Structure 1
Amino acid sequence: MRHAPAPHEAAPLEALPYYGGVYPMSAAPAGPAVVLFENNGFLGSLPGVLRRLSRDGRVCGVYWNVEGDNRLSYAADGRVLVGLDAMFWDEWTGDDVAVLEPELRAMTDLLAGDEDDWQAAAMTVVELVTGVRLTGEWLSGAHPYLTFQRPLATEPRLLTRS
């Protein structure tokens, strides 16, 4: 049985360990919320992780890499409700859009002025949903962090009768 990782002492992003399958994630309180930040990571964008993190609340996140792979996600009460490609906002349809309609409308309004600013627009959605802004000051500070190894523990399967 795996246990939740214990937090390590505060460290700046450049001092976090990246070796042999270790994935660090900074974790710090931000008012009534908690900011989780992965530098060069994607674990927080996985549906199983989003479900677990949102079990008793809400989670909003943005992931992107240098190849343009990205995901704007929103989960609440243990369910992933939104999973959108933030770069192709003009192709959004369906229930995903309705769940965050006012926040996503604000994002598309920003993108209508500059399509190349999709990362900043996606981060604006996170701020509108959570009330938390990721700033340069926060990124340059030292924060407690957690380390994970893959594979991540999966949620227990529910037994069902057929």
Structure 2
Amino acid sequence: MSALVIRPATRDDVAAIVALLADDPLGAAREEPDDPGTYDAAYDRVVADPGQHLVVAERDGSVVGTLQLSVIPGLSRRGATRSIIEGVRVARDERGAGLGTELITWAVEESRRLGATLVQLTSDASRTDARRFYERLGFVASHVGFKLPLGD
């Protein structure tokens, strides 16, 4: 396999990122790849926030993975900074080859470099393979998560 590069996402990557987000049953129900304006506006908000790090994994000029790392300073845990890993996706033909591990390892190392003392992530309860993957990387399912949709 050729070399993998993890780099900040650009506007030109947005369509590929959305395609990755939509490439499973949960994502297919949530995402609308045919509505690029929505994603372009979201991209603008993400890159305008210095605490957000949207990255892609690129191999041979193609986007094959993505994640978003959010770095959040706080008062709890004695003023700890934490990071949250979200939107982790790996292209179908890259799954099982270690790319997910490389992405998460990058996110943990970047979190440490940015001063975070805790890394968090969530995964939909139906994603049992993802849960096993994160546990294999040392994450502990220590909390129960809740969501409240606020409209469309």
- Fold shared, TM-score > 0.5 on shorter chain: no
Higher helix share: 2
When the two structures are superposed, what TM-score results if normalisation uses the length of structure 1?
Answer: 0.30
Greater CA radius of gyration, 1 or 2? 1
When the two structures are superposed, what TM-score results if normalisation uses the length of structure 2?
Answer: 0.32
